[in-house]
């Protein structure tokens, strides 16, 4: 008579998740925002108190820049942090203005937020991205990639065309507008005082 083969159960990915997260210097909050998985669920997974679904594992693997196969194949041993992390387009968070005419795709990593940030800015014709003053000493650098944009900071206003860059203080009320008839895109870099 043949004995049944005992089931090993699902792989315990807690230590792998924790090692990858810590290797990239991410807090539970950081990874939660990046992957769209609750902080409490992440904590339970890391302590092997919960077995994540394939969908949750997929989001975590994407957020950490590893393949799902590599994530599961670790068998509890943490892989070295990848030399290159690739963020897929669908995993890049985006913010829209209340009128939905402006979109900021957040290109910079969350751990640099509040110090150094960069965005891909898209503005539909007639759209305006208006901002209240940031902290004293904050600077913005706007490079137009397509179309034309108008930048207003303090009492000054400048029109920029493709390839031009404006540098201005963002510690005053400021706005970026698309006066053209087509979509305009730009790279927006925000540098906060140290």
Q: Which parts of the chain have pLDDT scores under 70? A: 1-12, 73-82
Residue 125 has a pLDDT of 97
Domains in the chain, start-ordered, CATH in brackets? Answer: 14-73 (1.10.260.40), 92-191 (2.60.120.10)
Question: In whole angstroms, how far apart are CA 137 and each of 49, 61, 68, 117, 164?
Answer: 46, 37, 43, 15, 23
Is the whole-model pTM more than 0.75?
Answer: no
Tokens read off for 15: 């230590």
pLDDT tens digits, one per residue of 24-53: 888 888 888 888 888 888 888 888 888 788
pLDDT tens digits, one per residue of 112-122: 878 899 999 99
């Amino acid at each position: 008579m043949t004995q049944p083969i005992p089931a090993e159960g699902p792989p315990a990915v807690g230590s792998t998740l924790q090692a990858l997260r810590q290797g990239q210097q991410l807090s539970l909050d950081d990874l939660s925002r990046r992957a769209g998985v609750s902080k409490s669920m992440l904590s339970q997974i890391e302590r092997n108190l919960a077995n994540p679904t394939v969908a949750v594992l997929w989001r975590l693997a994407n957020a950490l820049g590893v393949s799902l196969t590599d994530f599961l194949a670790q068998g509890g041993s943490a892989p070295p942090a990848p030399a290159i992390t690739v963020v897929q387009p669908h995993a890049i968070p985006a913010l829209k203005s209340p009128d939905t005419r402006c979109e900021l795709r957040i290109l910079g990593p969350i751990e640099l937020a509040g110090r150094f940030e960069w965005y891909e800015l898209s503005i539909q014709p007639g759209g305006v991205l208006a901002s209240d003053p940031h902290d004293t000493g904050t600077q913005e650098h706007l490079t137009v990639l397509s179309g034309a944009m108008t930048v207003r900071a303090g009492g000054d206003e400048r029109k920029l065309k493709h390839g031009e860059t404006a540098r201005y203080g963002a510690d005053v009320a400021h706005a970026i507008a698309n006066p053209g008839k087509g979509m305009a895109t730009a790279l927006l870099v925000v540098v906060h005082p140290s």
